[in-house]
Amino acid sequence: MHSKLIGKDSAKIFYNKFYDLIEPDCAAIVRYAHFDSAQMRFNGGFRDLLKVDTTIILAEGNYSSNGLKNGEFVTRYVNGNLQAKGYYKNGNFYGGWVFYWPNGHIDQQTNFINGYYDGDCMFYYENGRPNTHMKIRGYSCEILDAWNEEGVKIVNSGNGDYTLYDRGLTWQGKVVNGIPEGIWAFQVSDAVYGSELFEKGKFVKGLNHNILGNQDYNDKSRINFMPHVPELDVSKANRFTIFHDSPCDTTKYVREGNVIRSHLKIFD
């Protein structure tokens, strides 16, 4: 999309703020990178600049020779504040990462192995106060400490009443020694729409209330206690997706294999 090859192995590429390919006049981000045009992938170092203020480096890092994110990465919001910093290994989050809210407060200080949370993970509210301290191993997690938005501690050393927001639902229940215990329920106002029973962290059974009536289930819990792994916008850069069907110059673009074409070949 009017991107330019520079020399034998570099390119200047234009993206919108969501890392979709777009015309230079509409671009928010300009990427300078080492680029393998035959394989349509990045390799080596790159730097993404904010087009309206090129002193702001939105992202910088490295790709391996096979096009996977590798090594130290740093990303920033358009206001210049840090968004995230840490390491990738073979395209996955690896080791310690710090994520930030747009206002500069820390969002989470977490650890990863092969793209999944692992070890001690600390999450914060946007106002800077602590939210939840978890210990994660594999597909299980322990809720060690938790606070409400006013800073009041509600779970201490793995014990207390916890509120979990998962896929639009609010679940409430007790944790004992870091794991769910007893009845967990989600409700709107004073009406309970579902509940699940746990014994020593193990799911026993659940009950769902809806317009079809009450439905029992015992196959697996519907609650996801694991936090969702964030996806950085910069991760979309190597997908080379086009902004809708008609970018800002109204030209129709299509992708044919490793070539993006309009009525003229502009990027291959």
Residue 76 lies in a domain: yes
Each residue's pLDDT tens digit, 141-196: 999 999 999 999 999 999 999 999 887 788 999 999 999 999 999 877 666 788 99
Element (H, E) at 119: strand 119-124
Structure tokens that stand for 101 in this block: 């809210």
- Number of domains making up the chain: 1
pLDDT at 263 over 50: no
Query: pLDDT tens digits for 50-108?
Result: 999 999 999 999 999 999 999 999 999 988 899 999 999 999 999 999 999 999 999 99
Higher pLDDT, 19 or 190: 19
Residue range(s) defining the domain that contains residue 65: 4-115+229-267
CA R_g for the chain: 23
The two structure tokens encoding residue 119: 């070890």
pLDDT at 163: 93
The reported pLDDT for the residue numbered 262 is 46
18 domain residue, yes or no: yes
Q: What is the pTM of this model?
A: 0.84
188 closest CA partner among 200, 171, 167, 204: 171
Query: ∠13-19-25 over CA atoms, to 5°?
Result: 55
Distance CA 142, CA 102 (A): 28
Higher pLDDT, 205 or 239: 205
Does a structural domain hold residue 49?
A: yes
Q: Judge whether 210 lies within some domain.
A: no
Please state, in angstroms and rounded to a whole number, the distance separating the CA atoms of residues 71 and 69.
7
Residue 241 is assigned to a structural domain of this protein:
yes
The reply to whether 111 falls in a domain is yes
